[in-house]
């Protein structure tokens, strides 16, 4: 049998992982009797940890709310998973410093063995370039804004905000349902109750107005959340939006692109339309150039001008080169 002190710590760790445990469940996990579990629960209470108990056939134990914070008990896999997650978030604009501080604090409160595991993961990992697919800097997102949005989703409370669209701010009020992190951007999927229309709102384009809106009763989300965000962001969520006629059927285009690039619409003449966008004309030009299929730009006109400059530049680059 394990030593009492080690077993009590393991018991405390189990109580942290689930809301409720029955005595037989705890006894099986610890390899002891129900009576030993009851005795160890008593020891935790003596140490100041508020363990609540419900009697009867559905009886269970749960860790209650108390003044004393239990120690953070993580196994090897949990500690490494948290460390990797914090390491990743330091590469997201707005979270570099806070993610680094959290990782440092985590290392300070863990036992030496786990601290060494985390240190080895940290020292063996290099963060790649934060911005590898855009010539535009990632937007800064205020963590406080994300916290306020998450609280509104939890409490089913509407949001009031100024929303930057086409270089102008407009007043919006909507019911927030989900936050989606995609393409290093944060989007809030919401419903305008006045028009019953749904849209993904870029969090970095929102300036929240407090207090927020009125409480709401949730409505069903419009189909698949991911597909909705990809489709609508391609249409309205980028700084540059484009419609490209592709000289190939939709199935062939879909087989060549990442779904995150945009939405493909079939045409009666056997060709298709790619609705896409990006943070700059340069990025859109790169995406459509990688298709390897002939195309015609429907809009915007600025993209046509940019492609004309590129064609002249590339043509000049091959002058005098051996074929």
Q: The domain spanning residue 159 has which CATH number?
A: 2.30.30
280: left (phi over 0), alpha (psi -120 to 50) or beta: beta
Which of the listed residues 189, 221, 253 is the one where a domain comes to its end?
221
* 226 within some domain: no
Domain encompassing residue 280: 240-318
The answer, as to whether pTM is greater than 0.85, is no
pLDDT at site 246: 95
Which of 67-81, 211-225, 298-312 tops mean pLDDT? 298-312
Residue 55 counted as domain residue: yes
| pLDDT value for 121 | 66
259 and 289, same domain (yes or no)? yes
Is 104 within a domain? Answer: yes
pLDDT band at residue 89 using 50, 70 and 90 as cut-offs: low
Q: Looking at the structure, do residues 150 and 108 belong to the same domain, yes or no?
A: no
Q: What is the pLDDT of residue 310?
A: 92
Q: How far apart are the first and last CA of the chain?
A: 79
For position 58, what pLDDT does the model report? 61
* Domain contains 278: yes
Residue range 259-287, pLDDT digits in tens: 667 788 999 999 999 988 887 899 889 88
Q: Give me the long-range contacts of 279-284 (CB less than 8 A, separation at least 24).
A: 279/134, 279/135, 279/136, 279/238, 279/239, 279/240, 280/134, 280/135, 280/136, 280/239, 280/240, 281/240, 281/306, 282/135, 282/306, 283/133, 283/134, 283/135, 283/136, 283/240, 284/240, 284/242
Q: Where residue 161 falls among pLDDT bands split at 50, 70, 90?
A: very high
Tokens of 113: 């063995």
Inside any domain, residue 117: yes
Q: What is the pLDDT of residue 293?
A: 92
The per-residue pLDDT for 172 is: 93
Who wins on pLDDT, 285 or 117? 285
- Number of domains the chain is built from: 4
Give the whole-number percent of the chain exceeding pLDDT 90.
25
pLDDT of residue 318: 79
- Same domain, yes or no, for 212 and 171? yes
Q: Whole-number mean pLDDT of the chain?
A: 80
Q: The dihedral of CA 18, 84, 202, 253: what is its sign?
A: negative
């Amino acid at each position: 049998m394990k030593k009492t002190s080690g077993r009590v710590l393991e018991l405390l760790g189990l109580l942290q992982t689930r809301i409720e445990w029955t005595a037989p469940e705890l006894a099986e996990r610890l390899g002891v009797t129900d009576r030993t579990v009851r005795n160890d629960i008593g020891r935790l209470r003596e140490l100041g940890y508020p363990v609540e108990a419900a009697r009867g056939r559905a009886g269970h134990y749960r860790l209650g709310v108390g003044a004393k914070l239990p120690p953070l008990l993580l196994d090897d896999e949990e500690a490494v998973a948290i460390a990797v997650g914090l390491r990743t978030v330091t590469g997201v604009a707005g979270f570099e410093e806070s993610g680094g501080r959290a990782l440092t604090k985590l290392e300070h409160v863990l036992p030496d063995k786990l601290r060494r595991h985390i240190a080895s993961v940290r020292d063996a990992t290099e963060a790649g370039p934060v911005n590898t697919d855009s010539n535009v800097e990632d937007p800064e997102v205020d963590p406080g804004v994300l916290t306020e949005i998450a609280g509104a989703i939890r409490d089913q409370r509407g949001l009031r905000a100024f929303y930057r669209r086409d270089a102008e701010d407009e007043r919006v009020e909507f019911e927030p349902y989900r936050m989606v992190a995609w393409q290093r951007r944060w989007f809030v999927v919401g419903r305008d109750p006045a028009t019953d229309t749904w849209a993904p709102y870029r969090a970095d384009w929102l300036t929240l107005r407090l207090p927020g809106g009125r409480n709401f009763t949730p409505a069903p989300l419009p189909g698949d959340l991911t597909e909705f965000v990809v489709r609508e962001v391609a249409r309205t969520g980028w700084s540059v939006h484009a419609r490209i006629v592709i000289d190939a059927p939709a199935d062939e285009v879909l087989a060549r692109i990442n779904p995150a690039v945009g939405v493909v619409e079939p045409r009666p003449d056997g060709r298709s339309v790619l609705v896409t966008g990006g943070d700059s004309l340069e990025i859109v030009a790169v995406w459509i150039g990688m298709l390897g299929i002939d195309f015609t730009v429907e809009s915007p006109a600025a993209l046509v001008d940019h492609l004309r400059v590129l064609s002249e530049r590339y043509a000049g680059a091959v002058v005098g080169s051996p074929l």
